[in-house]
Amino acid sequence: MSTHKVVFEPHGVTIEAAHGSNLIRLAMEAGVHINASCGGEGVCGKCRVIVEEGMVDDGISEKLSPEDIEKGYRLACRSVVTQDVVVRVPVESSIDASVLNLVRTPRKAAHVHQPDLEHLKEEGLFLPPVEKRYLELPPPDAQDRLPDVSRLVGFLKLSHDEHRLVVSLPVIQKIPDVLRQEDFKVTATLSRPVHPGRKTHIINIQPGDTTLRNYAIAMDIGTTTIYGQLIDLISGEVISEYGDFNGQISYGEDVITRIMAAEKPGGLEKLHQVVIETVNRIITKIVKQSDVAMEDINAITLSGNTTMTQLLLRVNPRYIRRSPYVPASTIYPPIAAKDIGIALGNHVTALVYPQISSYVGGDIVAGIMGSGMYRNESLTLFLDIGTNAEIVVGNKDWMACAACSAGPAFEGGGIEFGMRAAKGAIEDFSIDPVTYEPMNLTIGNVRPKGICGSGLITIVATFFELGIVNSQGKYNRDLATDRIRERNGSYEYVLAWQADTQIDRDISLTEIDIENLIRAKGAIYSGCQTLLEEVGLTMGDIERIYLAGGFGSYVDLEKAMIIGLLPEIDADKVTYFGNASLLGAKMSSLTNKIRQDVVQVTNMITNFELSETPSFMDHYVAALFLPHTDLNQFPKLKARLDNRRKA
Amino acid sequence: MSTHKVVFEPHGVTIEAAHGSNLIRLAMEAGVHINASCGGEGVCGKCRVIVEEGMVDDGISEKLSPEDIEKGYRLACRSVVTQDVVVRVPVESSIDASVLNLVRTPRKAAHVHQPDLEHLKEEGLFLPPVEKRYLELPPPDAQDRLPDVSRLVGFLKLSHDEHRLVVSLPVIQKIPDVLRQEDFKVTATLSRPVHPGRKTHIINIQPGDTTLRNYAIAMDIGTTTIYGQLIDLISGEVISEYGDFNGQISYGEDVITRIMAAEKPGGLEKLHQVVIETVNRIITKIVKQSDVAMEDINAITLSGNTTMTQLLLRVNPRYIRRSPYVPASTIYPPIAAKDIGIALGNHVTALVYPQISSYVGGDIVAGIMGSGMYRNESLTLFLDIGTNAEIVVGNKDWMACAACSAGPAFEGGGIEFGMRAAKGAIEDFSIDPVTYEPMNLTIGNVRPKGICGSGLITIVATFFELGIVNSQGKYNRDLATDRIRERNGSYEYVLAWQADTQIDRDISLTEIDIENLIRAKGAIYSGCQTLLEEVGLTMGDIERIYLAGGFGSYVDLEKAMIIGLLPEIDADKVTYFGNASLLGAKMSSLTNKIRQDVVQVTNMITNFELSETPSFMDHYVAALFLPHTDLNQFPKLKARLDNRRKA
């Protein structure tokens, strides 16, 4: 893809832009503030810029007079970069100009993990658990009366060095007719044992040569969303993928309400059925998208948290929410997919990721395996942030984990205008440090409806760094802006006036919202700290951070460090794995090595119950500040703040 | 049970009789001929005897005048022995008296095998494949948060030295609630691996102590009849048993017609369903009889011939009847009973006996295992005689087998008045060598309806030994009796005149019937001979004979040797195992040793296809005589015949 050079004046900032980039997003990325209230829909008309050299596409709006347009004014939010341009952000006062000299925190998103199939192949680890073998068997005659199954198994032994083969009844039922369909030329599907030396199962037999048709499904059973991928086991590529809301949502948003629903008469069966319906709907979708025959799907791997896993498997989860909080099992045996109602062939075995404890489940184990954390030499902090945050710390030799309830703030819960990361959510933000006018960018470039998790972090971090809120999360009441105001006895900052929104009210961020965010980040940070302390380490020992969860992809790492959600660490050492649970499910479809290692890894992980670790509460209380009562834990931020105070 | 002494005069034969014995059966057993046409119903009135000392119960009939009764006349067939008696068989002429001096062939039934449970226990082989363990688990608390399954498995390891445990999903689904039902006191049901060192499956979990309730089912899937036994795995005893016709009978009497029915559209599914219905009916019956809870039935073993096995497992049997006659498989994996529709708990695994070839099936393998033939040092001939006869020869080091089509003669087929061994079948027979009047004994002591297999052998052997038929099976046309007559161009002997039967015709045995019997016994004998020859042995090398099949129990061994069905061997060396298939199924419920050995034994057996062994036809043609063209193969009989000829 071609790139273009975009220069922002008077800042003198240059940024390399992909062809077709949105200009206001480029400005945000470059750390250039442009007032913008309406999220990028072109309604507020505030994001006027002058194109001085070259020209952008679009950018025209009724908010611009023909004269303005003639002069080169465009709305940044509507402008598309298709050539090199020089763009001037109008500076309407000398006060404004002063901000140009401020050192802005560079925006730093985590490096997004890209699975490296070639690397897997080079290391000899591309070992899908299901393989196919094409066989031209000698037909039986009067001198060779081997039974059909013995003929097949014997040939695999002699000609393909396959040993310890098991044939299950459904395959035996097919063998006599299939062998004779194309004159004893058949393809056998072999399911590898998890442990080398154990038995290989012949799970299917097909007439002719079908060796190039071999697929698996990976699925993440999230409390909210279920994602499925169809994987080509020959190429290793994901050929289709689909996500859908977990049908259980109507029985409660979180695991606790789901467990309560399961405890009602018939509830367990109902919740089990509902999640299986979603699973099957996703399977239908990804199979249809890819035009793959059902019969050629030979494996499925599923991962989910402990409650989701137990509901998926119809195992009563009631003791998960009752002291002393024990799950039914950590490890589940391979299961015939059909036995739990999954609409795949009878020959398909479902592998379900093992659990660690009631609140650190198979999704986390899948993340550990899929991210490769369990093979790391360096000390890694793995964080999966959602309503519950799961924390794993360790390396290839040892691991410890814990879960803490972060509350729903990062998913928009408990925040007055909070929302999930959906169209209309303010996801990025900047503020003019003089006028305190905002630059709101929304998902989908439409007028804002609310604020999502990553937006919330960026807003609060920006406020804190510029002194708009203090370390207790309270607004500075003395600032000269009508955007900070009192309502219902609490202060708030108005991000967007009603006219610039999709809703019938101003969108604001209240001190109560900030308090909730501080509680959430405080729980996570103190959880990490407590866990590290339990194993004799401190935040400073962490060499890598692995982020997982729908939450993490758009989070500005520096901002997350400013609010004290993440410990300060070089952003290069942070990797974002997105849906690590799905990644783990996928990886174990591509390499049997993970399936071999997972039980050992699971058994190696020590689970800590934070609620019963006395120091947790102390750490938590200390973390209920921006970024923390102990600013020395954030030395870079401390330096910047000191710098600014001097300036 | 008390016994009584019964003396038959003028023969001077004394026999020990169980209290309540039937007098005419005692006479047959003692080799004393008493004319009797009506099978023992008391209708013909021919079996008059005089009780000279003591008295019998009953024996009174309208066929006897008050004077006769006064003189001590009784009908032998109606008389019950309840004390010592001396009975005189009226000899009404000196001609009759001469027969008293004839040396009669003593009647010799095979020793009937009695499974010896104590012996099994002494040898340490009483190892039921399913065991129960009562466990008092420590409940979880804040210091011990082991998941439920780990708690159970860990306790079994530590406290019961149980290792390599596997828990399947249905058990995991039960564990959380069952553990808490009686305060973590539970009974775990352990299913042992077939091979030591493999995994033990925890197949069930029950609250409290249920260790004394542990049962298994053994079942023989016969083409005609299915027998089931419910076995107490604590005592090793059969606690209930039931047999019923295989519901497939309406689709054809033999395996070939069943295969043809299975080839019709939907036929395989239908035949499968029908046999499963019978299996489930029998299970219901034996469970009801015994008052055992379904949940405590933990295993089922099934054995049947190759076609019955494939239909049971819904494996297309069409290639069994098509050259080159290959079965689908020899060995079948353990199968969840529910997966083939068997109405037992989800935790029950069905073990199905392996097959050797298309016509030597799991019923024979079960017979080999159940009879212990595979552990014998001495050379044993195992014969299972039905429509098809299966022959196994060998010892613990090697075995060879073959099947031959005997035709249905031994089951009453192809015999004009032939019938199965049911009420009204002539099952035993003697003839007055002077008057040629018969002594017919029927099953149930009722007027005859026909002749069953054992009756047929005895009649033909008796005829042959007394010269009533010659070695070609033709009646002596010169005898002074109206019972031998010509009808429809063939000679026959009238066993019972119409008035003495239950049917509307005379019951006779024709030369065509005898020819069919000779063909049947010729096929079996020559099959044995061919098989022995193929392995370099002769009939003379045989040290033991094991008889199996519904046919064998009532067969007079000496008679079977006279007609040339069995080789001449000391009757003590013949053991009758009855339903050896059922015995094998039962034995593998009692001792895991058999399940361990069976695959190796099956692989050790060499199958011979008689139809493609050139010498078979020569042996067969030579065997189409009574007893054989080569009388030297039957030296004892030869001696007796020579003796008689001299007399």
ipTM field: 0.87
pLDDT band, residue A106 (cuts 50/70/90)? low
Report the candidate in A143, A206, A160 with the shortest Cα–Cα distance to residue B326.
Answer: A143
What is the reported pLDDT for B38?
87
- Candidate CATH numbers 3.40.710.10, 3.40.30.10, 3.30.420.480, 3.50.50.60; the one for domain B106-127+214-375+588-622: 3.30.420.480
Domains B3-101 and B106-127+214-375+588-622 share a fold: no
How far CA A543 is from CA of A376, A538, A540, in Å, comes to 10, 11, 8
Who among B146, B314, B324 is closest to A173 (CB)?
B314
Contacts of B175 in chain A (CB under 8 A): 328-329
Residue A313 touches partner B, C-beta closer than 8 Å: yes
Interface test with A, best of B315, B320, B355, B360 (most A CBs within 10 A): B315
Q: What is the mean pLDDT of residues A494-506?
A: 94
pLDDT band, residue B555 (cuts 50/70/90)? confident
Contacts of B167 in chain A (CB under 8 A): 329, 333
What is the reported pLDDT for B98?
52
Checking if the pLDDT of B168 tops 90, the result is yes
pLDDT band, residue A103 (cuts 50/70/90)? very low
Report the candidate in B149, B144, B147 with the shortest Cα–Cα distance to residue B205.
Answer: B149
Q: What is the pLDDT of residues B469-517, one digit of tens each?
A: 999 999 999 999 999 999 998 999 999 999 999 999 999 999 999 999 9
Which tokens belong to B621? Answer: 């043609």
What is the reported pLDDT for A127?
92
Least confident of A224-228, A410-414, A531-535, A584-588: A410-414
What is the reported pLDDT for B117?
84
pLDDT band, residue A578 (cuts 50/70/90)? confident
Report the candidate in B531, B513, B528, B593 with the shortest Cα–Cα distance to residue B564.
Answer: B528
Contacts of A205 (CB under 8 A, 6+ apart): A152, A171, A174, A175, A178, A179, A186, A187, A188, A189
* Alpha-carbon gap, residue A408 to A256, rounded angstroms: 13
Q: What is the pLDDT of residues A63-74, one digit of tens each?
A: 899 999 999 999
Q: What is the pLDDT of residues B303-347, one digit of tens each?
A: 999 999 999 999 999 999 999 999 999 999 999 999 999 999 999
pLDDT band, residue A343 (cuts 50/70/90)? very high
- Strands B380-385, B544-548: parallel, antiparallel or unpaired by DSSP? parallel
Who among B147, B172, B327 is closest to A326 (CB)?
B147
Checking if the pLDDT of B103 tops 50, the result is no
- Percentage of chain A beyond pLDDT 70 is 96
Q: Chain A, 314-373: which have a CB under 8 Å from a chain B CB?
A: 314-316, 318-319, 323-333, 335, 339-340, 355, 357
- Percentage of chain A beyond pLDDT 90 is 78
What is the reported pLDDT for B375?
94
Checking if the pLDDT of B363 tops 60, the result is yes
Checking if the pLDDT of B107 tops 70, the result is no
Mean pLDDT for all residues in chain B? 92
What is the reported pLDDT for A552?
61
Hey, where are the domains in chain B?
A: 3-101, 106-127+214-375+588-622, 129-207, 407-536+548-564
How far CA A151 is from CA of A156, A317, B319, B331, B599, in Å, comes to 9, 47, 14, 12, 17
Checking if the pLDDT of B351 tops 80, the result is yes
Checking if the pLDDT of A145 tops 60, the result is yes
Checking if the pLDDT of B395 tops 80, the result is yes
- Closest chain B residue by Cα to residue A145: B326
CATH topology of domain A129-207: Ubiquitin-like (UB roll) (3.10.20)
Residue A167 touches partner B, C-beta closer than 8 Å: yes
Checking if the pLDDT of A10 tops 90, the result is no
Mean pLDDT for all residues in chain A? 92
CATH architecture, domain defined by B3-101 = Roll (3.10)
pLDDT band, residue B94 (cuts 50/70/90)? very low
pTM value is 0.86
List helix spans (H) across A467-604. 511-534, 557-562, 580-590, 592-604
Question: Which residue bears the tokens 């392995």?
Answer: B535
Checking if the pLDDT of B155 tops 50, the result is yes
Q: What is the pLDDT of residues B34-55, one digit of tens each?
A: 988 888 888 888 899 999 999 9
pLDDT band, residue A514 (cuts 50/70/90)? very high
| One-character DSSP codes across B55-106 | --EE---TTS-HHHHHHTEEEGGGEEE-S-EEEE----SHHHHHGGGSPPPP
Contacts of A324 in chain B (CB under 8 A): 140-142, 144-145
Least confident of A216-230, A632-646, B136-150: A632-646
Which tokens belong to B307? Answer: 């076609």
User: Mind telling me how many Å the CA of B281 is from chain A's nearest CA?
Assistant: 23
Checking if the pLDDT of B274 tops 70, the result is yes
Record: contact B168-A333, CB cut-off 8 A? yes
State phi, psi for A135 to the nearest 5 degrees. -130, 135
User: Mind telling me how many Å the CA of B606 is from chain A's nearest CA?
Assistant: 12
What is the reported pLDDT for B552?
61
Checking if the pLDDT of B97 tops 80, the result is no
- Closest chain B residue by Cα to residue A179: B328
Report the candidate in A370, A379, A325 with the shortest Cα–Cα distance to residue A536.
Answer: A379
Report the candidate in A65, A62, A22 with the shortest Cα–Cα distance to residue A43.
Answer: A62
What is the reported pLDDT for B92?
61
Record: contact A316-B172, CB cut-off 8 A? no
B133, B590 contact by CB (below 8 A): no
What is the reported pLDDT for A115?
77
Identify the top-confidence range among A16-30, A58-72, A412-426, B617-631.
Answer: B617-631
Record: contact A327-B172, CB cut-off 8 A? no
CATH 3.30.420.480: does it fit domain A215-359? yes
What is the reported pLDDT for B106?
52
Report the candidate in A465, A463, A386 with the shortest Cα–Cα distance to residue A421.
Answer: A386
Which run of H or of E encompasses A23? helix A23-30
User: Mind telling me how many Å the CA of A458 is from chain B's nearest CA?
Assistant: 39
pLDDT band, residue B373 (cuts 50/70/90)? very high
**CA torsion angle A168 A170 A175 A177 (round to 10):** 170
Interface test with A, best of B141, B195, B329 (most A CBs within 10 A): B329
What is the reported pLDDT for B187?
98
Question: Which residue bears the tokens 């030591």?
Answer: B196
